[in-house]
Chain A
């Protein structure tokens, strides 16, 4: 591009538009993060379903793999940020949304683990407890610990929100479709037992992250190949 060249108003506007478009076409997510979370959550959910359905235990809490996935995710994020030649305004907004999502999920996990015990203690202090009562009187009444009702539905609901925002901001249809399917799964999960909620969770992780991740990865590799050929 020459340093100084006479150009008119129309050419100036064309130049501005073409540069803005060049930036837009430079953003390419590698899809690694989406693939990682999509696999971790769907594997955990489907294995939990199998454990409940066929009454076995694999020897450890499978959801620990979701926690373990945080380490590679941090490494991937640091590497990708280093490789990035520019930071867009969208990136900042999306980072904030996904950080808020992660905090919300961990908050919900804490709620799931803390609230039942705390509720039981509070109930004891007040001098009462929850009782399981069989309407057909086939079993005697038994005391039970409090538990949050259908909390998996809330997890499914939360999976959809950052996905939908990302899909809308990035104009990435697979994520928008994934989020809409996940909202439908949330509604369905309100009427089903834990076992089926796990299947819905697994499907939600596949449609929100794993499938969009595969599409992003494919595009990313194609572009990398094109760039290599152009060099």
Chain B
């Protein structure tokens, strides 16, 4: 039985954000934007979707008198990401047979 791919993660930009966040403890919005080559507007929308799904935590604070957004993957996000990768591997194994 195929596991269904999580629709929240099966989007290029959201998956890129989650892949970045799974490798770090936390990352600033500017860093994510630079690494994903996304526009600020598009990235904000996708981050909001991930936040609503409970996959990431968004911390807004001031750094050197400027607003600064930091994102952090949640435990729920880690589980969802692991499940997504497992499902992908299943698809790939079937494809190779």
**Count of chain B residues with a beta carbon within 8 Å of a chain A beta carbon:** 32
Q: Which of A182-220 contact B (CB under 8 A)?
A: none
Q: Chain A, interface size: which category?
A: 20 to 34
A residues bordering B, Cβ < 8 Å? 1-5, 7, 9-10, 12-13, 15-16, 19-20, 22-24, 26, 82, 85-89, 91-92
B contacts with A: majority SS = helix
A-B contacts, CB under 8 A, total: 80
**Which of B19, B30, B38, B91 makes the CB contact (< 8 A) with A20?**
B19
**A-B contacts, 12 listed (Cβ < 8 Å):** A3-B11, A4-B12, A16-B15, A20-B19, A22-B35, A23-B24, A23-B35, A26-B35, A86-B26, A88-B24, A88-B25, A89-B25
A9 touches B27 (CB 8 A): no
- Taking a contact as CB atoms under 8 Å apart, the answer to whether B24 and A89 are in contact is yes
Query: Which one, A2, A3, A23, A87, contacts B20 given CB within 8 A?
Result: A23
Contact B31 A86 (CB under 8 A): yes
Binary contact readout B20-54 vs A (1 if CB under 8 angstroms, 0 otherwise): 10111111101100111110001001100000000
B13, B25, B28, B45: which contacts A1 (Cβ < 8 A)?
A: B13
Taking CB atoms, residues of chain A closer than 8 Å to B35 are: 19, 22-23, 26
